[in-house]
Chain A
Amino acid sequence: MFDGVLQALLQGGLLGGYYAIIAAGLSLMVGVVRFINLAHGDMAVLGAMVTITLTEVGGVPVLWSIMIMLPAMALMGWVMHATLFQRAMRGGFLLPILVTIGLGAALQNGMFGLWGSNTRSLGASIGELSWASWILPGGIILGKLPVLIFVTAVVVIGALHLMLKKTKLGRAIRATASDPEAAEMCGVSSRQAHRAAAAIAVTLAALAGVFLAMRGQVTPYSGPAQLIFAFEAVVIGGIGSLGGTLIGGMVLGVSQSLGGLISPQGSLLAGHLVFVSVLIWRLSRDWARDHGGWRASLAISAIKLRRRLTGGAPAPDRAPSSKGAA
């Protein structure tokens, strides 16, 4: 039992690496461009499909396929932002949602039309990597592929962090995120910064898609689930923080694999429930903060509730003035 939990913890944490990669792209878009791309998961699947096709049909070695696919996807992200997203962003929060969900539908079904409904995998193309593992003391099994994915996640997120901190492009992206108009006043084209961010986000999604296909199978309709995992990881880790995204991904992975111990369906549900709990906790914390701290806000609620129950005369509706004084 104990070994099973330990194994699940380890596997879940490593799985978190995958979630962190796909979530990092989403987080970048949300934090910098203030744009949620609902087709983010479908980009991942597209990346996987392209890589699989290059490898299986084109006979290109896997590593080379990935090297060809990633820049192509980056270019696609750039173009997509320049043509679709940028225009959608002019219409407030509504149009981006409509446009990207439409894009998702077009991508999923287009991929279905092109590649059919068969599940596909890169597992067969990566040889022993797909099943090789280390055995740790105590019989704990450590798959080489999950470790590779996790290490990649840490490297990618570290590199992204350094890029944002230390390079000209990174500073321009951060400046645009903080105040696009002021960034323009410094000579930064906010559009270029947004397009660059979109290119990076799509690249990260596509990389995650490759790992997804190495670990298991993908279908043209796998995208929405990946978007949901990415969103959960971003929210759990806190929007706009890359380190948080890595932690969020690991928390999601661990809760899923612990949930999987309980029942096969428990895996997804556990992840969802952790997400919902974090959301509830965060919203109630904000609510309490807006009402003068936990104690004060609970006191107000108690008074209101009592008044409603007893139907008593409405007393002056005033919050205690000092924080937590009640």
Chain B
Amino acid sequence: MNRHHVIAGISAPDRRLMAAGGLIALGLFALPLFGSALVVDKLTLLMVYIILAVMWNLLAGYAGLVSVGQQAFIGLGGYFVLRLVESGMPPFLAIGLGGFLVLLAAWPLSWLVLRLKPAEFAVAMWVLAETIRSIVMFDPLVQGETGRSLVSLNAIDPDVRRTTIYLMAVVAVVVSLVLSHALLRGRLGGESQAIRDDEEAASSVGVSTLRVKRWIFLISAVGCAIAGTIWLASAITFQPRSAFGINWSIFMLFMVLVGGLGSYLGPVLGALLFFALQEVFGDFGAWYLAGIGVVAILFALFAPRGIMGLIIGKTGQEPLSMRKLLIMREG
């Protein structure tokens, strides 16, 4: 008999969770068959929130990169789609290509910002988002603060449009969840875990922290861009001030912080909660947004690991944890 260490596989409760997730996804795909237009629209927004939360969590929770400038990519994604559509591309194709163009833009940016200290990175991203907004405003197509509508989308039958956008949103959520699961369970996840635990030690055993961070930064940029394009497609009008608004960052931060920074399911939980809060209290407008800020402060100070942290505290383990556990096998 010899003993060796292996990386623990996926546990039974986690398997059940994943199966449940699959069922929910199927249900979401089927929803347009019986859901009302309003429900479909609302759920599209929820999907956008989930994508954003998952992407922000990849950045902050797994790569230690706290950005308050992800709206740069949300807005840029929307702008590219607008540009492509105006130059004659079919809208739904443009939505896909928009993400790719943002990848091309994010790559040179990553060279710049990833070399900054963590706190400087946060603000520098914000400044970059503003810079990109100022550049976009130069395009006469955008019509300054007024913004511009995706006119050709209006030409499509509203029901078809709504359903297509919704289905794209569900696909994007499924892809981002599956992809980040695969990534975090794979080599990148192990490396980012090592960096998160001890950056110096990780780089001393040959993990290129810059490479890992760059990958996650780029993935998150593309994810935010896709969320931005879907949001634009359902909101129709591209307005630089809202597309590049700091509110996006506040929402992302709220969802991830409240749900559970650095956990796999936390951001999904956070997005659901944020969506629900928005539905219930959204009518209070500014006071509601002020409340979001206060809740974020309270969580940051008193429960920095969010709801998921509280669950872990109770049950002793994290559902669908991405942490790799070494277990002893005999055989």
Contacts and interface: CB of A to CB of B under 8 A. Distances in A.
Contacts of B130: 225, 228, 268, 272
Contacts of B301: 84, 87-88, 95, 99
B222 interface: no
Interface stretch (B95-103, B158-166, B246-254): B246-254
A163 B66 CA distance: 34
A273 B112 CA distance: 13
B69 to A, nearest CB: 10
The range of chain A's interface size is: 35 or more
B30 to A, nearest CB: 37
A265 B144 CA distance: 9
Interface in A101-129: 101-110, 112-113
Contacts of A94: 60, 64, 66, 118, 261, 304
B127 interface: yes
Interface in B77-133: 112, 115-120, 122-124, 126-128, 130-131
Given A102-B250, A106-B290, A276-B131, A97 B66 contact: yes
Interface string A80-93: 00001001100101
Contacts of B300: 88, 91, 95, 98-99, 102
B34 interface: no
Contacts of A268: 130, 134
Contact of B293 (A104, A224, A232): A104
Nearest to B249: A101
A269 interface: yes
Given A95-B304, A96-B119, A265-B138, A105 B66 contact: no
B286 interface: yes
Given A98-B300, A102-B297, A279-B112, A272 B119 contact: no
Contacts of A104: 250, 293
Nearest to A110: B290
A25 to B, nearest CB: 15
Interface residues of B, number: 48
B122 A97 contact: yes
Interface of A: 36, 38, 84, 87-88, 91, 93-99, 101-110, 112-113, 220, 224-225, 227-228, 231-232, 235, 263, 265, 268-269, 272-273, 275-276, 279-280, 283, 286-287
27 contacts: A84-B297, A87-B301, A91-B300, A93-B117, A93-B118, A94-B118, A95-B300, A95-B301, A96-B119, A97-B119, A101-B249, A101-B250, A101-B296, A105-B292, A106-B291, A106-B297, A107-B293, A109-B289, A109-B293, A110-B286, A112-B286, A113-B286, A228-B123, A228-B127, A265-B137, A272-B134, A276-B112
Interface of B: 60, 64, 66, 68, 112, 115-120, 122-124, 126-128, 130-131, 134-135, 137-138, 144, 246-247, 249-250, 253-254, 257, 261, 285-297, 300-301, 304
